[in-house]
Amino acid sequence: MNTPVNENETTLIKGCIREDKKSQEVFYRMYAGKMMGICMRYAKNREDAEDILQEGFIKVFNNLKNFKAEGSLEGWVKRIMINTALLHYRKNLKYSDHVDLEYAGAEINDIDILSAISAKDLMSMVQAMPDGYRMVFNLYVLEGYIHKEIGEMLGINEGTSKSQLARARKYLMDLIKKKEN
Amino acid sequence: MSSNLTDEMDKIIQEKLGGYVEEPSPDLFDSIVSGRKQSGQNNVLTKILLAIAGAAIILFLLYKLLSQQDHSSGSLLYPALNEQNLLTSTPDHNSVYPAVNRQAAPAYKNFWAHMDGRIFSRNYAADYATGNTTSINPQYAARNMAGKARGKNNSIAHTQARPAAATRKTDPAKGSLSQKAPADEVQTLKAMFTYLVDSNGHVSFFNQSDEIGTTVSYEWFFSDGNKSYSSNADHHFIANGTYHVCLSISNELGAYDSYCEDVYISNAPIRKNLIGKVNAGHNAPDKGTVYLIRFDSSSMVPYMIDSNRLDELGYFSFNNLPDGYYIIRATLDTRSMYYNEYIPTYLGQTLVWNNARRYATYGLGHHGNSEMLVINLLPLSPRERGNEQVNGELPPSNNPLDKMLILYDEQGRPISYGYVDPGGKYSFTDVPPGKYTVYDPRTGKYVSYDVGKGNPTPPPAPKPSEGENSSGTPSEAGSGSPGNLQAYPNACNEELTVEFDNPTLSKVTIKVVNPVNYSIPLTQEVRKPSAHQKVFLYPGMLPNGLYILMVEFADGSAPLTTNILVKH
């Protein structure tokens, strides 16, 4: 599954470039659920996530001819989705440079609460975060980018990315605690 | 918040959301297709407009050129501010309007009036020719024409009924279609529908047909054995799949048409429940989480769709699952009593999702709506504590479900597990000096470490590299071990050579042992004893993974074991 591009994928990609609707549908179904999951994390709600997904897939189909079979196809599709999501919210993003790393100290108990939350509930909490927090949180915790890279992607400095992440974590913990009570 | 706690929370969030999957609305693909077409059409439209504009300019220039020629023959068409021209063409006016420039204005007016008249009359003629008029709704106009064309049988009442039929249609595309129909062609019925998939397999079908006649009858075929006879239909599909839905319409004049479309249903309400118990075999219920992973068999992609907490007795349940293949994974809470004793495990007791037994809900129909599953977590071997660390780095994984690593000791027993951090780094702490193997279940790759022996600081671990299956392999198993047991190549694929000393010349059995569950997938007896034995094994049919080789002697001497062997 991590192999860059296999023969089936090549055939599928060719079909999509030929604008063969069946290939495009197979391609779409292959990634729709997974990519929707990613879009959900970056979006405020399901509707926004679908908008991003649609926009992302249009870009994917328009640019598939430029896909170089060097990396994994899924990684490529995923990057397009993430970039689309970032663009979608870019205009709303407001960052404060005020570094405020004051936490409501997390306790061991919080970990148990967090493990107890269903994936769906956790998702809606992530969606409830302010846009700027959510972007940094996703890029760092779930995509594994470092602050320097996130800074470049969002056009902010490294320190801002760090403080946004700290705030995002605090925000999430507050939501989780609220749910517990 | 200490960084350890933060990391731990990140891990939980990654597990829950990293593989999160949600099905988008079933009609989204169509939106993508039409979205792309639209942007394509916009481009085409722009090009057409540009072409028209270009043509207009050329025509105008041509016109100018022609008029200039006309003018030389004495016509007053040409609107140039040319003193000489004006003087020669209107000599009478020249005395009334002494300024040449003032004379120019009426000449222009005259020109535009002339032009307007020509353009207007030409358009009018064109409208007349196609039977199109701008004052009447084109749909209605076209239908009216069609009605007239059909002959005298059309009563006034009939034609009056038609605007109502036309306004019922909301699709502008349909309007332009009817507009194209020439007036003299006898218009027939044209079946058409659109649909909307709601929740739970419920679909609303909207009749969009072009209907001619007072009595139009409808017949919907849903391709699941059901029919409907209303103009707009609602239908509940009870199973997921693609349905070839057809609408046939006919009228009292005997005209008939049908239209079909494939309707894709993925949210049908046939649902099953999976109820299960974790660690019933070990009789150690504990706090933990069970993850439900949907396995898409067509694309071979697993994705997580839900998670569920274990109750006090170790039970979990996933309800209302649609048909499909699932993989279930159970983990214990970090703070649970048994956290350090069991490895998070997939259903079917394997650590690698692609070898995990997939659970098909198709088979559940015979047993009612619920099925009971048991997941026994794999136990870790008890281990000693030490002051050494095993550190390493892996390429970041796309699939956070598979970020777990397992640490095996020299005997190939699992002694600990941990997770790769977002940067791909991992670390096992508090281990005594010794040899270790770290196994990445995601790729089936491993890397061996030798920590602490005679070194005050742990030597840097060899880094595995993605894509090179054989790099970083541990030293050949058993070199210098008792009985001179050697097994090579390591990693092996089709053939494995085993060499050892057999001083007592007893009968020998060689066993390939799975170190995780101690099953023995391959055994070979050696009947011809010799002092130094060389035996060939063919492990080709074994699943890829880690194994230990065990050589047992019939005379009861101590069996020989190898280090971890890799089958790839």
Q: What is the pLDDT of residues A107-149, one digit of tens each?
A: 566 777 888 888 888 998 999 888 888 999 999 999 988 898 8
Two tokens at B136?
């009447």
Task: Give the minimum alpha-carbon distance from A94 to chain B in angstroms, rounded to a whole number.
Answer: 24
- Chain A CB contacts of B8 under 8 Å are 111
Beta carbons within 8 Å of B321's beta carbon, 6+ residues apart? B271, B272, B273, B274, B292, B361
CA distance B322 to B327: 14
> Nearest residue on chain A to B423, judged by CA atoms?
A144
Reported as type and span, the H/E element at residue B256 is strand B256-265
* Interfacial B residues in 41-100 facing A (CB < 8 Å): none
pLDDT class of B441 with cuts at 50, 70, 90: low
- Chain B CB contacts of A103 under 8 Å are 1
Reported as type and span, the H/E element at residue B17 is helix B3-17
Q: How many CB atoms lie within 10 A of CB B204?
A: 13
Say if B422 is an interface residue toward chain A (CB within 8 Å).
yes
Per the CB < 8 Å rule, is A115 touching B333? yes
Two tokens at A8?
């089936």
Identify which of B32, B301, B335 has the shortest CB distance to residue A28: B32
pLDDT class of B469 with cuts at 50, 70, 90: very low
Q: How many CB atoms lie within 10 A of CB A52?
A: 25
CA distance B292 to B43: 45
CA distance B241 to A38: 25
Say if B16 is an interface residue toward chain A (CB within 8 Å).
yes
pLDDT class of B235 with cuts at 50, 70, 90: confident
Per the CB < 8 Å rule, is A141 touching B10? yes
pLDDT value of position B106: 38
Identify which of B21, B423, B424 has the shortest CB distance to residue A37: B21
Residue B443 has pLDDT above 70, yes or no: no
Say if B344 is an interface residue toward chain A (CB within 8 Å).
no
Identify which of A32, A103, A123 has the shortest CB distance to residue B24: A32
* Mutation site for A-interface testing, chosen from B10, B13, B336, B544 by largest number of A Cβ within 10 Å: B13
Identify which of A21, A62, A117 has the shortest CB distance to residue B33: A21
Residue type, A89: Y
Hey, which of A111-120, B336-345, B472-481 has the most confident mean pLDDT? A111-120
Residue A75 has pLDDT above 70, yes or no: yes
Contact assessment for residue B404 and residue B439, using Cβ atoms and an 8 Å cutoff: no
Q: Mean pLDDT for chain B?
A: 66
Per the CB < 8 Å rule, is A108 touching B442? no
Beta carbons within 8 Å of B365's beta carbon, 6+ residues apart? none
Mean pLDDT over B452-481 rounds to 41
Identify which of A26, A36, A141 has the shortest CB distance to residue B22: A36
Reported as type and span, the H/E element at residue B8 is helix B3-17
pLDDT class of B41 with cuts at 50, 70, 90: low
pLDDT value of position A35: 94
Mean pLDDT over A32-45 rounds to 92
Q: Mean pLDDT for chain A?
A: 82
What is the crossing angle of helices A119-128 and A21-42, to 10°? 70
Say if B28 is an interface residue toward chain A (CB within 8 Å).
yes
Strand stretches in B322-462, DSSP E:
325-332, 342-343, 345-346, 359-360, 370-375, 378-379, 388-393, 404-408, 414-419, 425-431, 434-440, 445-451
pLDDT class of A57 with cuts at 50, 70, 90: very high
- B300: helix, strand or coil: coil
- Chain B CB contacts of A50 under 8 Å are 24-25, 28
Residue B136 has pLDDT above 70, yes or no: no
pLDDT > 70 fraction of chain A, expressed in percent and rounded: 84
> Nearest residue on chain B to A57, judged by CA atoms?
B32
* Interfacial B residues in 368-397 facing A (CB < 8 Å): 396-397
Q: How many CB atoms lie within 10 A of CB B65?
A: 10
Identify which of A28, A119, A169 has the shortest CB distance to residue B16: A119
Residue A98 has pLDDT above 60, yes or no: no
Per DSSP bridges, beta strands B272-278 and B202-207 are unpaired
pLDDT class of B483 with cuts at 50, 70, 90: confident
Residue B458 has pLDDT above 60, yes or no: no
Mean pLDDT over B229-253 rounds to 83
pLDDT class of B185 with cuts at 50, 70, 90: very low
Say if B418 is an interface residue toward chain A (CB within 8 Å).
no
* More confident position, B283 or A121: A121
Residue B74 has pLDDT above 60, yes or no: no
* More confident position, B105 or B399: B399
Two tokens at B109?
């007016």
Reported as type and span, the H/E element at residue B296 is strand B288-296
Mean pLDDT over B218-223 rounds to 88
pLDDT value of position B155: 32
Tell me the β-bridge partners of B306: B292
Annotate B528-563 with b (16+ C-beta within 10 A) or e (fewer). Answer: ebeeebebebebeebebbbbbbbbbbeeeeebbbbb
Residue B162 has pLDDT above 90, yes or no: no
Contact assessment for residue B438 and residue B473, using Cβ atoms and an 8 Å cutoff: no
pLDDT class of B387 with cuts at 50, 70, 90: confident
Hey, which of A138-142, B127-131, B445-449 has the most confident mean pLDDT? A138-142
* Interfacial B residues in 307-336 facing A (CB < 8 Å): 307-309, 333-335
* Mutation site for A-interface testing, chosen from B8, B16, B352 by largest number of A Cβ within 10 Å: B16
pTM of the model: 0.37
Mean pLDDT over B388-410 rounds to 75
Mean pLDDT over B336-348 rounds to 78
Q: Where are the alpha helices (DSSP H) in chain A?
A: 7-17, 21-42, 46-63, 73-90, 108-116, 119-128, 131-137, 147-154, 158-180
Mean pLDDT over B367-376 rounds to 68
Beta carbons within 8 Å of B510's beta carbon, 6+ residues apart? B498, B523, B524, B525, B526, B535, B537, B549, B550, B551, B552
pLDDT value of position B114: 38
CA distance B135 to B315: 73
Mean pLDDT over A152-172 rounds to 86
pLDDT class of B187 with cuts at 50, 70, 90: low
Task: Give the minimum alpha-carbon distance from B371 to chain A in angstroms, rounded to a whole number.
Answer: 22
CA distance B255 to B246: 17
- According to DSSP, residue B190 is labeled B
Hey, which of A108-117, B31-40, B408-417 has the most confident mean pLDDT? B408-417
* Interfacial B residues in 514-553 facing A (CB < 8 Å): none
For residue B395, give the nearest of B468, B332, B329 by alpha carbon. B468
* Mutation site for A-interface testing, chosen from B1, B262, B291 by largest number of A Cβ within 10 Å: B1
CA distance A39 to A55: 11
pLDDT class of B396 with cuts at 50, 70, 90: low
Residue B311 has pLDDT above 60, yes or no: yes
pLDDT > 70 fraction of chain B, expressed in percent and rounded: 56
Residue A36 has pLDDT above 90, yes or no: yes
* pLDDT tens track for B502-560: 877 888 888 887 766 667 777 777 777 788 888 888 777 777 777 778 888 877 777 78
- According to DSSP, residue B101 is labeled H
- Chain A CB contacts of B326 under 8 Å are none
Per the CB < 8 Å rule, is B24 touching A40? no
Residue A39 has pLDDT above 90, yes or no: yes
pLDDT value of position A21: 86
Beta carbons within 8 Å of B107's beta carbon, 6+ residues apart? B76, B79, B86
Q: How many CB atoms lie within 10 A of CB B316?
A: 23
Beta carbons within 8 Å of B355's beta carbon, 6+ residues apart? B348, B543, B545
Q: Where are the alpha helices (DSSP H) in B100-258?
A: 100-130, 138-150, 156-168, 172-180
pLDDT value of position A141: 92
Mean pLDDT over B89-93 rounds to 41
Two tokens at B260?
């079909």
Per the CB < 8 Å rule, is B334 touching A74? no
Identify which of A54, A74, A122 has the shortest CB distance to residue B32: A54
Identify which of A62, A74, A111 has the shortest CB distance to residue B12: A111
CA distance B344 to B356: 13
Mean pLDDT over B222-249 rounds to 83
Mean pLDDT over A50-61 rounds to 91
What is the crossing angle of helices B138-150 and B172-180, to 10°? 40
- According to DSSP, residue B350 is labeled B
**DSSP per residue over B43-78, as a string?**
HHHHHHHHHHHHHHHHHHHHHHHHHHHHHHTT-S--
Beta carbons within 8 Å of B61's beta carbon, 6+ residues apart? none
Residue A88 has pLDDT above 60, yes or no: yes
* More confident position, B219 or B515: B219
Say if B303 is an interface residue toward chain A (CB within 8 Å).
yes
Residue B223 has pLDDT above 60, yes or no: yes
Tell me the β-bridge partners of B260: B246
Q: Burial of B89 by CB count in 10 Å (0-12 exposed, 13-18 middle, 19+ buried)? A: middle
Identify which of B23, B24, B335 has the shortest CB distance to residue A112: B335
Say if B261 is an interface residue toward chain A (CB within 8 Å).
no
Say if B39 is an interface residue toward chain A (CB within 8 Å).
yes
Residue B431 has pLDDT above 60, yes or no: yes
Task: Give the minimum alpha-carbon distance from B497 to chain A in angstroms, rounded to a whole number.
Answer: 30
- Chain A CB contacts of B398 under 8 Å are 2, 72, 74-75, 78
pLDDT value of position A140: 92
